[in-house]
Structure 1
């Protein structure tokens, strides 16, 4: 049985949903805010301009070859976990630079959750992210 905590929203004294940080009302709002931020990030000039690179045949074939040769997530491996890699990540964001995009020394194999976490950090944090 998990211990229920108070909602983390400022001024709220309701109990949070079991295993989550917010009460039912604030969870809905937090989810809507997250969905809006994700949608806005996908519509950014950066995302639209660089999405075309991921449709190139060279990327599609190269990505598959890379994952066959590097089948495990490097971030999970650093923690001693074995997790299949499903994503090829650009270690240093390419920002539309085709040479950096196709530079395999700038690639790493990650699982979906590690890749999503890294991408969210790059998009929403570190000063280079989403401009609202």
Structure 2
């Protein structure tokens, strides 16, 4: 792999292998992302939603749902057979308990598909749909 210069403006250090940034700028990028994630999880809304997900009723309902829907819906749409690990709300409930418990708003997803969908919703404001 050829050696490349860091893409950060004004930086002439070598980039890490397979990365566009040098060690210093890559660490700064990771720190910035971690801060964004922490900020997203520290809002009043996020704390309220977390209590819904930590309830005994949700844990039992999601386990039952995954037993009945064992494969990732998004991967299945692509013809792949991947075990689902997470019950996702197709339309984000945003604390609406009715929407939270509406089973027709649930889908089974693998962790990578769920993480991708959640990142789009949280960081890019896109809602609904699979992925």
Within a 5 Å distance, the mapping from 1:1-132 to structure 2 comes to 2=1, 5-126=4-125
Contact 1:72/1:110 (<8 A) preserved: yes
Q: Which deviations, in whole Å up to 9, do the C-alpha atoms of 1:80-108 show, x marking residues without a partner?
A: 32221111100001011111101111011
Unaligned segments of structure 2, at least 5 residues: none
Partner Cα separation in structure 1 for residue 66 and residue 48 of structure 2: 25
Runs of 4+ more than 6 Å apart: none
The TM-score with structure 1 as length reference comes to 0.84
Partner Cα separation in structure 2 for residue 64 and residue 5 of structure 1: 48
Cα RMSD (Å): 2.0
Unaligned segments of structure 1, at least 5 residues: none
Q: Which deviations, in whole Å up to 9, do the C-alpha atoms of 1:19-64 show, x marking residues without a partner?
A: 2232211111011111111111110122012111112222111100
CA shift in 2, pair 1:14/1:96, >3 Å: same
